[in-house]
Amino acid sequence: MVRDPIASESTPPAEEICSALDDPDCREIIRNLEEPMTASELTKRCEIPQSTLYRKLELLTEATLLEESTEIRQDGHHASKYAVAFDEITLTLDEDRTLAVQIERPARTADERLAELWSEVRKET
């Protein structure tokens, strides 16, 4: 199950975030996500095989760098959409010489909060 970046109170370890950002496919996905997109749309845009893309999407959502929401369709075939979940990432060296990370998140609209809630309800059923 994917981690919800907004509901999560703690930031993932710096290593997890750095690992995701070190991956060229992950950076390509972030670069192409100017607006929320489905995995199918991302596969075409990024020219990454779909099976690889799903692994990278999971890596990015687990690192809270992407968020997954559900696009509600009238035909009942809802689709997951992915969006970049950060505006800025700051990496610092703490007093005890460990890396610390801070993630600045974009402001969320009412529509985004509703879509997130629907996504959570859908996961529970």
For residue 5, being part of any structural domain is answered with no
- Does residue 63 register a pLDDT over 80? yes
For residue 9, being part of any structural domain is answered with no
Q: Comparing 15-29, 62-76, 80-94, 103-117, which segment has the lowest mean pLDDT?
A: 103-117
CB under 8 Å to 65, separation ≥6 — which residues?
5, 17, 20, 21, 26, 30, 84, 85, 86, 89
- Which CATH number goes with the domain that contains 111? 1.10.10.10
For residue 72, being part of any structural domain is answered with yes
For residue 49, being part of any structural domain is answered with yes
Rounded Cα gap, residues 26 and 22, in angstroms? 8
Give the pLDDT score at 8: 46
Rounded to a whole number of angstroms, the CA Rg of the chain reads 15
Region of 103 on the Ramachandran plot (φ > 0 left; ψ -120 to 50 alpha; else beta): beta
Count of the separate structural domains present in the chain: 1
Give the pLDDT score at 92: 94
- Does residue 6 register a pLDDT over 60? no
Q: Running DSSP on this structure, what letter comes out for residue 72? A: -
Mean pLDDT across the chain: 87
Give the pLDDT score at 107: 83
Angle at 90 between CA 21 and CA 99, to 5 degrees: 80
For residue 82, being part of any structural domain is answered with yes
Give the pLDDT band of residue 57 (cuts 50, 70, 90): very high
For residue 2, being part of any structural domain is answered with no
For residue 85, being part of any structural domain is answered with yes
**What is the extent of the structural domain holding 60?**
14-124
For residue 7, being part of any structural domain is answered with no
Give the pLDDT band of residue 44 (cuts 50, 70, 90): very high
Reported in sequence order, the residue ranges of the chain that DSSP labels E, i.e. its strands, are 66-71, 79-84, 88-93, 99-104
